Amino acid sequence: KNQPISSPPPSSSSSSSPHHHFYGYLRDIKWMWLWSICGGIIILFASSCLLSPSPSPSKAQSILSPVSVSSTSTGDEKRDDEVKNHNSIIKGNIERIEWISDEPFTHTIEKLKEPVILYNTVTSTWNAIKLWRDHEYLSSHPDMKMMEGVKISDVDSTFFFIDMEAHFASPSSSSLIPDLNLTCNFRTQNMTSSELFRRIYDPQEKRYHYWYGKVGKELSRDVTPYDFIWMDKSDQSQFGLYLWISGSGTRPPIHIDSDHNFYVHVSGRKRFVLFPPDQWKNLYMYPRLHPEWHKSQVKFDAPDFDKFPNYANAVGFEAILEPGDVLYIPPYWWHHVESISPCVSMASWSQGTIWNLMKPVYERTFAFDEMKEPKQRLASVLLHIDIVLKKIYNEDEKQVRKYLMEVYKARWVPLSSLFFEYFVIKRQKFLCIEFG
């Protein structure tokens, strides 16, 4: 889902004072860094001021209940195996809470600001929970006869989506980054729903299949009443309800969304691993300008510890969904998702309080937006970044620099091979001056 999310802390190449260092070094890619930092400041504000920074096991009926976790040895090899097996990453399970089926839940659960699995909600009374477990029913439904844009991967179970509207994908920027991969690792194909279900239920099928789209008007009769799964009616009319169908092992990359997500699981078993917003330092988010900008650079099942050493310190919480479960994913919570078996699920998104509070920030026009002269505009952006960060960190210069350095290490260092000649060698002096 492409939303205008601003990344938690994106790029970092601005420091607070000596602006003259930038003039000789930033030239063609200066805006890549600066807009990335601006996006980072926005989401830093959203995630730190409006969300709980980390899970609290005792909060709201122990929403996150700790489980025993295998301890890691001091050896790097043992540690790496533990992380790859997720034994040292997963620190607990998302709590399951029984609900009263005719009671609304979105506004109550949203106040927790942490994930939770609900069961016995109104969704458990839907016809879909019974009827859609039979894929013959879905494949024969008029709204489901033809599936457009089924995604198929021959080898990789993780589907990497590319945002071709991202800044790096533009012709002017991509020419500066010749090694940037702008191709998806899957192909799309139109097929009947019966063919899709035949493939994902075939134990001999080696390819991975994945489809999502809006629930059709006639099919939506099976999911009524469904006004409980949005924050308000405007979200219902704006987003609609999305249907997800996937084969075993299928997954997207670790990613975040900016909306409240009430995820209704219909059939099969699905696994989520959720990371709090403050785990951005350990998950190495792509810069806001990158085509995979709201995703982690880390491969969940094959992390590269040379490039992503902090991933060993990541803190995640596991949720296994059964038919009828509703998983609440708060805004900016990272999530890894995988289908344990062939699955049918639905998702509803609501913008809610955070979006309403941040909307004026997204829509605001700043003085530097109107400036034409590059050096003047650059100085204005740098001053703006300096003022905002000092407001956030209460004029603490060390904290400002620490934040910028953390952003630089998490967002840009792993991508340095793409910019080696242009970004590293020519900027080496700048980095030494600005970051010591």
Q: How confident is the model at residue 267 (pLDDT cuts 50, 70, 90)?
A: very high
In order, the DSSP letters of 265-306 are EEES-EEEEEE-GGGHHHHTBPPTTSTTTTBBSS-TTS--TT
The pLDDT value given to residue 366: 85
Highest averaged pLDDT of the listed ranges 230-239, 284-293, 331-340, 372-381: 331-340
Task: Render the burial of 283-312: b for 16+ CB within 10 Å, e for the rest.
Answer: bbbbbbbbbbbbbbbbbbeebeeeebebbb
Enter the pTM of the model: 0.77
Residues facing 46 on adjacent strands: none
Lowest mean pLDDT among 60-64, 137-141, 246-250, 327-331: 60-64
Residue 308 has pLDDT above 60, yes or no: yes
Highest averaged pLDDT of the listed ranges 49-58, 252-261, 407-416, 426-435: 252-261
The pLDDT value given to residue 60: 39
d(CA 300, CA 122): 33
CA distances from 127 to 266, 321, 348 (A): 10, 18, 18
Q: What does the DSSP 8-state code read for residue 101? A: T
> Residue 243: which of 211, 200, 197 has the closest Cα?
211
Pinpoint the alpha helices (H) of 284-372.
Answer: 352-363
Residues facing 260 on adjacent strands: 350
Tell me: the pLDDT tens digits for 310-329? 999 999 999 999 999 999 99
Question: Residue 263 belongs to what H/E stretch?
Answer: strand 260-267
Tell me: the pLDDT tens digits for 351-370? 766 677 778 887 888 888 88
